[in-house]
């Protein structure tokens, strides 16, 4: 035995053994630290998952809001047919129909084409604002290739410019042609010039192909509730007898 070991044993300064219960307390404390660390990690993971879930939910909600705002731009129009009761009360007939699923009666087409011709050909001393309102109505009741034709007429005739021309229009007949969804309109025009007070009367004929479209805005819908439109037209004077 070495002298250093002998001195330690002789003087009683060796390392005393740790009691078993002390080791158990240390082990329990260590296990408790591990458990708390694991609980903290799980809690942090749960919070992270919750944050990601909330972020995804916010993205979805934002997407729904954007979709709703975009969808509101498109007018969802329906038609409800009603009848007037013998006592003057309105009675609903059937269920509301989608705008384009409803078939307008022929009289509605006749009224629309009559107004279309009058608004196109009439000239008066009224304000420019009235002319723009009338032509706004025309554009809301014109679709397809007919819009380009209407634009060409506007460029040639310049309905918003100051003019000395006065013209009145009287529609004499509207007849449905054998071709489906087409009509022939006859009218008489009476015109005069303020600088040359001579009255000139002539007759015109127009062939119109009509169709339906879904008005894109609320303003269009209020001005054209049934989505009636002229899809093509041809206007020409007729020989005078």
What digits encode the pLDDT tens for the residues 164-214?
888 999 999 999 987 778 999 999 999 998 787 789 999 999 999 999 999
Q: Measuring CA to CA, which residue among 181, 178, 179, 177 is closest to residue 205? A: 177
Q: Which two tokens stand for residue 233?
A: 């037209």
Residues 120-146: pLDDT tens digits?
A: 999 887 767 888 999 999 999 999 999
Q: Measuring CA to CA, which residue among 69, 79, 92 is closest to residue 214? A: 79
Is 74 within 8 Å of 216 (Cβ atoms)? Answer: yes
Tally helices (H) and strands (E) across the chain: 6, 6
Q: Which two tokens stand for residue 129?
A: 């604002």
Helix (H/G/I), strand (E/B), else coil: 18: coil
Q: Is this structure's pTM higher than 0.85? A: no
What Rg value do the Cα atoms of the chain yield, rounded?
Answer: 43
Residues 221-235: pLDDT tens digits?
A: 888 988 999 999 999
């Amino acid at each position: 035995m070495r002298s250093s070991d002998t001195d330690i044993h002789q003087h009683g300064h060796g390392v005393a053994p740790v009691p078993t219960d002390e080791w158990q307390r240390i082990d329990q404390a260590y296990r408790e630290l591990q458990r708390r660390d694991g609980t903290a990690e799980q809690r942090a993971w749960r919070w992270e998952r919750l944050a990601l879930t909330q972020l995804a939910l916010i993205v979805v909600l934002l997407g729904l809001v954007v979709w709703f705002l975009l969808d509101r731009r498109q007018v969802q129009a329906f038609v409800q047919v009603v009848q007037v009761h013998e006592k003057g009360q309105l009675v609903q007939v059937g269920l509301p129909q989608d705008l384009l699923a409803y078939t307008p009666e022929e009289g509605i087409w006749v009224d629309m084409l009559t107004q279309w011709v009058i608004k196109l050909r009439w000239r008066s001393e009224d304000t420019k604002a009235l002319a723009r309102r009338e032509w706004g109505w025309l554009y809301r009741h014109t679709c397809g290739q007919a819009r380009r034709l209407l634009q060409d007429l506007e460029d040639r005739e310049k309905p918003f410019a100051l003019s000395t021309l006065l013209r009145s229009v009287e529609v004499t007949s509207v007849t449905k042609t054998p071709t489906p969804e087409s009509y022939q309109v006859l009218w008489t025009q009476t015109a005069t010039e303020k600088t040359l007070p001579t009255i000139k009367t002539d007759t015109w004929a127009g062939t119109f192909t009509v169709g339906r479209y879904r008005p894109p805005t609320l303003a269009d819908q209020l001005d054209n509730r049934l989505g009636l439109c002229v899809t093509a037209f041809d206007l020409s004077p007729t020989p005078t007898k």
